[in-house]
Structure 1
Amino acid sequence: MKNRSNAAGMPDIASQPHTQLVGALDWVGMNEIEIPIRLAVEGDDREIQCPGRVSAFVNLDRPEVRGIHMSRLYLHLDRALAEHRLTPMALHHLLGDFLASHEDLSTRAMVRIDFEYPVRRPALSSDNSGWRVYPFSIIASLEGRQLDMEVAFQVTYSSTCPCSAALARQLIQQQFERDFSAGETVDRDAVLAWLGTEQGIMATPHSQRSSADVRVRMAPDFEAFPFIDLIDTIEDALKTPVQTAVKREDEQEFARLNGRNLMFCEDAGRRVQRALNDHPRIADFWARCRHFESLHPHNAVAIVTKGVEDGYKPIDGHPDGWH
């Protein structure tokens, strides 16, 4: 049996004035809270549950007060995420509860929820499919009646270097000149057979796994988080998302897509920028394309924004959701 002692008789140091060290605090709360998240499956009424990590904060306006009521934040969070799916409206109510429970201390509230969204993806050519999980973060803040909402996510793709491709083609041309003498009649079947040998492709361009880290500010009055739509927007723009189940025909199609979509990080950044600029539900964005070079020990990076007045200002102060 639990010890139901009288809590009113217990000392509460946090509520006592702190005269020696005073000052208002921008944010106070907790991070890395482990809690399950309920997510709607887009396009039907099903629901999935996945593990999440949550940060919950309020500001501390009164400089003489030593601390906030962290247990209240946790209990509101636990109840809200247990009873409701993760929606903009649910987060609005949650932040309102944070402030109501700290009405004498705080004027602003913020929550950040990190999780991985699972999606089953079809193979490129075969009839197979497999699971991908995409890192997502939902960041929301409330001050007065002003609600701000951001969605951060990550898409992994392949990038093949255009410069390396051009250099590889040149080497193949030079090898062709060595293997087929100038002025002689070239037999079509002999060339076709040569192209299928290691000599015929004696150089290959370098390519690498790459990452698009995206943070978007949603337009007002949206009712549900468009997880799959956001993923598809980036993958459709880049054309070379990484794959799950792969047979030989899928790998060949993946090679074809890489060959038709040669990309510097600058090209990838502009593709992402164009796709997000054209998205009707996105008010602002910050995106970073990183190519984890196979040629170098460092990465090639391009960063783009929508370019609205004053630039992109992330709610939690960090445009990069993955440090």
Structure 2
Amino acid sequence: MQTIMPDIADTAEALQTGTLDWVGMGNIELPLLFSSKGLSDTTVIAKADAFVNLYNEQAKGIHMSRLFLALDTLSCEQTLTPTTLKQVLESFIASHQDLSNAAKVVLSFELPLRRPSLLSGKQGWKSYPVTITASLINNHYQLEVSVDITYSSTCPCSAALARQLIQQAFTEQFAQQQLNFEQVHDWLGSTQGIVATPHSQRSVANIKVKLPSDSQEFDILALINSTENELKTPVQAAVKREDEQEFARLNGQNLMFCEDAARKLKALFEVSHYQDYYIKINHYESLHAHDAVAYAVKGLAQGYQV
């Protein structure tokens, strides 16, 4: 005789009635085969948060194992695309009839990319933290991609102060002399010629964009490339001496406060195809014990807020 196991979520009464916005599971370990335009399908190790709402005020709870199994199917039998992610959400809701009518999933992982050096032609691996958030509410599919992009920022103020000190050192060294080209050239290439350098810091741009609901593919590479090309000083992977020198030149030619970086990216995304965008710039100061931070959003009434 087969024993029927109790299902408390179906049979027990709730201790207190009421609806809940989201109920589910967090930090589910999930290997996924990720598909994105311009990249080979890549295996990533994701952490997943999976939710449905609970609109049935009398229900004790949801069936969390059904969320887990839908994600497991995505992991073992499918490739992660906008379409398969929507199918996961539809499965969440279908498996919770009379309990839920909305679903959400958040997937976070590191995406490894081969990135070329600036001049030498060498390549190296660089990982980008990516978060994909998808929801299905009232049959409306929403899709968001977030990526953290690390770059270098050199302070315009400290660059000006460093130039002033170099001018002062030049004056002190050569004020009473008639100079020729070789003397000036040699001094500029000496330790005495560079008495001060501007301070720069590792910085991070956190970018979130909303994709059209009918998107057929992700395009993480285009999002990363356009941001790095706009900022011009992305952190490097493989570096030879010529790459390091070019990196120093790029920093010197692209001095920026956090406000500058935020405005450059705001202008970039204003003319993009994304439905909405959110930018957070964080310059991890080398001079101060605090950080310099700037935000920018598109400014839609129902869009991203800061």
| Structure 2 SS opposite 1:35 | strand
Q: Is the 8 A contact 2:277 2:297 kept in 1?
A: yes
Could you state the TM-score of these two structures normalised by the residue count of structure 1?
0.91
Q: Which amino acid aligns with 1:83?
A: E
Separation of aligned partners in 1, 2:172 and 2:145: 55
Alignment pair present for 1:60 and 2:60: no
Percent identity (aligned): 49
Partner of residue 33 from structure 1, selected from 15, 19, 28 = 28
Q: Is the 8 A contact 2:17 2:57 kept in 1?
A: yes
Q: Is the 8 A contact 1:17 1:64 kept in 2?
A: no
Could you say which residue in structure 2 is the equivalent of 1:209? 202
Could you say which residue in structure 2 is the equivalent of 1:188? 181
**Pairing 1:239-318 to 2, within 5 Å after superposition:** 239-280=232-273, 282-312=274-304
Separation of aligned partners in 2, 1:41 and 1:140: 16
| Structure 2 SS opposite 1:9 | coil
Q: Is the 8 A contact 2:133 2:144 kept in 1?
A: yes
Q: Which amino acid aligns with 1:306?
A: K
Could you say which residue in structure 2 is the equivalent of 1:11? 6
Q: Is the 8 A contact 1:19 1:64 kept in 2?
A: yes
Aligned-residue offset at 1:81: 2.8
Aligned-residue offset at 1:103: 1.4
- Structure 1 vs Structure 2 CA RMSD: 1.5
Aligned-residue offset at 1:233: 1.3
Could you say which residue in structure 2 is the equivalent of 1:316? none
**Pairing 1:36-115 to 2, within 5 Å after superposition:** 36-40=31-35, 42-43=37-38, 46-115=40-109
Q: Which amino acid aligns with 1:227?
A: I
Q: Is the 8 A contact 2:233 2:250 kept in 1?
A: yes
List gaps (5 residues or longer) in structure 1.
Answer: 314-318
| Structure 1 SS opposite 2:262 | helix
Cα-to-partner distance string for 1:33-87 (whole Å, 9 max, x where unaligned): 001111125336x422111111110000112211100001111111123222111
Partner of residue 226 from structure 2, selected from 233, 241, 244 = 233
Q: Which amino acid aligns with 1:131?
A: W
Q: Is the 8 A contact 1:233 1:276 kept in 2?
A: no
Separation of aligned partners in 2, 1:85 and 1:274: 34
Q: Which amino acid aligns with 1:77?
A: L
Separation of aligned partners in 2, 1:41 and 1:165: 40
Separation of aligned partners in 1, 2:85 and 2:202: 34
Could you state the TM-score of these two structures normalised by the residue count of structure 2?
0.96
